[in-house]
Chains A and B, each alone.
Chain A
Amino acid sequence: MRLFKPLMLALLSAAAIWGPARAETATIRMTWYSDGNEGEVMADLLKRFEEQNKDVKVVLDQVPFKAINENLPVQVASGQGPDIARVVDIGGLSRYYLDMRPHLKDAAYWEQNFGPFLEWMRPAGDTQSIPGFMTQLTVTGPFVNKTLFDQAKVPMPGAKATWEDWAKATKEVAAKVQVPFPIALDRSGHRFYSLAMSQGTKVFGANGEPEVVDEGFKRAAQLVYDWHASGVMSKELWGSVSGTAYRGANDEFKNAQVVLYLSGSWQTSQFDKTVGNAFDWIVVPNPCGPGGCSSMPGGAALVAFKSTQHPKEVARLMDYLASEPVLSEFYSRTLFVPGHLGLAKKGVAYPSASPQAAAALKTFTASASEISPLAYRTQGYTNSRIIFNAVISRLGQAIAGETTLDEAYKRITSDVAQQIAERAKK
């Protein structure tokens, strides 16, 4: 009993001293995936933010890309998600986003610099909310192994060359230098649409609803199908797995087994590091077709979720990360095409990029200005990933020989309708 009172006093004093201090520290969780070095760069920026904001602790959870698409939606739907996350299904998760306007320092700055991309993040009918910003704007485009062209002594197709020109040239190169992949296309609906846009697909009907399978789409699907049959493309990407699984050809390209690899600007940093001096690679403008030469835009956005317990601190962190000097450093160090209109206009310097990477970024930036409004609309459409996934799954089956192309077209139409209807059920 003699000890009880002093002990209680000590405990109460400790609680009085530490309690408020602990309560003042807000912990923000950020879920992040990386294609290249952007995780390191973000960790570095967050460290600086924490030094300037002692009352905020940011936990960076670095996860695989697959977790962003498969686990994160379940987490946020259950209210157990992070405060902030880097997402690629920008429109698909829009109903969970936090409108940060009440807490931002200058909402006009956000509108001015991220305006067109904010539309991708907003739910249908919303024209005002500010849920996040683009950590990168991506542009699809072909990486070409120039060394293989040189070795094969085959002239490279020119600036406005068609897909058919490239298919012919790459097949010739592959045959001469004995590599297995004349053309590799990521097993991704988004990349397929890079081809489909050039073949003149319209994606939407007159009523604004998706009408996926049209003449342009069929031309693109037929090209991919025929290329698999003739050996221009190997079944190892599109035909080897089922469903909506993503498959890239990064390793094959790095190992000089691919002549032309249709992927996108996010690979630049990675190839710059991993290919090194092994061979010369370049990025060429998107090949053309009857529908033009447009690539597909895309990207990743850093968004805040409304389930956060610390909206003010989240907005403060987002204000910091989206500020021009910080974002400029981020784009510059990660070799990303800027998704900030002001920086895109001024231009971002890439001092760490090799001449090859710098040239690639220049081509991608030039391609960005050629992107058609339809490509932007398709990418920003809330259900775009439903379309992309139906295309991969069903076209993959046709390529593997399980179904015909006509059956695949029917299935794509019914899959898209069924999933949109399911999403609309309330």
Chain B
Amino acid sequence: MPSGERIGLRGRVGAALGAVAGALAALPMRLLDGPMQACQRLIGAGRMPYVFLVPNFVVFGLFVFLPIAINIVFSVTGGPALFPSERPYVGAGQYAYLFDCGSYLDPNSCREDHFWRGVANTAKFVLFQVSAMVLFSLVTALVLNMKIRGRGFFRAVYFFPVLLSPVVVALIWKWILQRDGLLNAAITTLGGQKVLFFIDPSWAMFWAVFVSVWAHMGFYTLILLAGLQAIPADLYEAAEMDATPRWRVFRRITLPLLWPNMIVVIVLALIKGVQTFDEVFVLTGGGPGTATLMVVQYIYETAFANQVQNFGLAAAASVVLGLVLFLLTLAQLALARRKES
């Protein structure tokens, strides 16, 4: 049989299957047709968009706005009871307790010093993590944008850790870094002394940042790579014809045109950094002492791990964290709008 006829037969079968699938898909639509027309007659065509928005509003309301509202209610109540109706109203007491400080720069002077240690550690973590993330993502994206051998392979390799669960990532690194881990085995093989990374505050913070960058860098590299590939090639050709030095090309062409993507990377990394919990919690447990205790871990421990589960205080801390994240999101939106204009 000639190939043209075979394709013709396949095409006919495909068209028939498509028609059946289309008819099946149209069936529920037809079922909805009547009620929709009735609804339109009742409320008018102008209000119909709201009907289509209702399902989303319900989902958002139930899973986003309602929990936020419950959280705010919890933050103005006290005691160990779980149900809001059983919790005594304490007004702004939980917030007053959180913010009762001699100096916000000295956690020791605060009544709830663990919260402020968490704030200070999170700020430190975000500063180092975001800087390292942007720098390494940019360098990796620039390298992966070059015409190098095995480019596809390397792009996959750098993205692979993003697919792993944060707990798995932290456990793998914990095994590498512990007293009898791989790294110490290598150090002792080379004649060095074992290093107890998790009892030294500086090392613990360093590894918390390192592991976080290692795990998430692939995602940000991808954003920057997309930005790099969107830069028109003729700009580089013109620069080449003018014999412009590489560094100048990077500074005058690449960086300005990549800046919108950089803003996205910085803001996203910032928001994710503030929310950090699982990786650091599994890797260091917040220690040594409270050297890597982050705000989210503080909230979790206050609400669930302490003997008296202080839901009110944890809720107040999470409202404060939520406000910080809200401000960061507003900043992202403002920057994105500026990019559009």
Residues of chain A having any CB pair with chain B under 8 Å? 69-71, 73-74, 77-78, 89, 92, 180, 234-236, 239-245, 383, 385-386, 389, 396-397, 399-403, 407, 411, 414, 419-420, 422-423, 425-426
B293 in contact (CB, < 8 A): yes
A242-B293, A425-B80 known; A180 and B179 CB under 8 Å? Answer: yes
Task: Tell me the minimal C-beta distance from A407 to chain B in angstroms.
Answer: 7
* A400 and B82 alpha carbons, distance in the complex (Å): 34
**Which of B111, B306, B309 neighbours the largest number of chain A CB atoms within 10 Å of its CB?**
B306
A242 is contacted by which of B80, B196, B289 (Cβ under 8 Å)? B289
Residues of A within 8 A of B80 (CB): 77, 422-423, 425
A244-B306, A389-B307, A407-B108 known; A402 and B289 CB under 8 Å? Answer: yes
B273 in contact (CB, < 8 A): no
Which residue from chain B places its CB closest to the CB of A419 in the assembled complex? B308
Which residue from chain A places its CB closest to the CB of B197 in the assembled complex? A240
- Stretch touching chain A among B11-19, B254-262, B280-288: B280-288
Assess the A70–B293 pair: CB atoms within 8 A: no
Assess the A419–B201 pair: CB atoms within 8 A: no
Assess the B308–A426 pair: CB atoms within 8 A: no
Which residue from chain B places its CB closest to the CB of A252 in the assembled complex? B179
Residues of B within 8 A of A383 (CB): 307
* A396 and B305 alpha carbons, distance in the complex (Å): 16
The total of chain B residues at the interface (CB under 8 A) is 36
A422-B80, A425-B80 known; A243 and B114 CB under 8 Å? Answer: yes
Residues of A within 8 A of B307 (CB): 89, 92, 244, 383, 385-386, 389, 419
Which residue from chain B places its CB closest to the CB of A396 in the assembled complex? B289
**Which of B198, B297, B301, B308 neighbours the largest number of chain A CB atoms within 10 Å of its CB?**
B308
A241 is contacted by which of B111, B113, B287, B310 (Cβ under 8 Å)? B287
Which residue from chain B places its CB closest to the CB of A399 in the assembled complex? B289
Assess the B82–A240 pair: CB atoms within 8 A: no
Task: Tell me the minimal C-beta distance from B71 to chain A in angstroms.
Answer: 15
* A385 and B309 alpha carbons, distance in the complex (Å): 12
Task: Tell me the minimal C-beta distance from B272 to chain A in angstroms.
Answer: 21
A241-B284, A389-B307, A419-B308 known; A235 and B196 CB under 8 Å? Answer: yes
A235-B199, A242-B293, A425-B78 known; A389 and B306 CB under 8 Å? Answer: yes
* A69 and B81 alpha carbons, distance in the complex (Å): 16
Assess the A402–B82 pair: CB atoms within 8 A: no
Assess the B199–A236 pair: CB atoms within 8 A: yes
B79 in contact (CB, < 8 A): yes
Name 9 interchain pairs, CB-CB below 8 A, sorted by A: A74-B82, A77-B80, A240-B284, A242-B287, A243-B301, A244-B301, A245-B286, A386-B308, A396-B287
Extra pairs beyond A243-B290, A401-B289 (10, CB < 8 Å): A74-B304, A240-B287, A400-B291, A403-B289, A419-B306, A420-B308, A423-B79, A425-B79, A425-B90, A426-B81
Residues of B within 8 A of A234 (CB): 196, 199
Assess the B286–A243 pair: CB atoms within 8 A: yes
* A383 and B308 alpha carbons, distance in the complex (Å): 9
* A143 and B297 alpha carbons, distance in the complex (Å): 34
Residues of B within 8 A of A240 (CB): 198-199, 284-285, 287-288
* A383 and B306 alpha carbons, distance in the complex (Å): 12
Which residue from chain A places its CB closest to the CB of B289 in the assembled complex? A400
* A180 and B178 alpha carbons, distance in the complex (Å): 14
Assess the A70–B285 pair: CB atoms within 8 A: no
* A69 and B90 alpha carbons, distance in the complex (Å): 27
Residues of A within 8 A of B310 (CB): 419, 422
Assess the A239–B289 pair: CB atoms within 8 A: yes
- Using a CB-CB cutoff of 8 Å, which residues 275-331 of chain B contact chain A? 284-293, 297, 301, 304-310
B102 in contact (CB, < 8 A): no
Interface string of B70-107 (1 = CB under 8 A from A): 00000000111111000010100000000000000000
Task: Tell me the minimal C-beta distance from B267 to chain A in angstroms.
Answer: 29
Assess the B198–A70 pair: CB atoms within 8 A: no
* A239 and B287 alpha carbons, distance in the complex (Å): 7
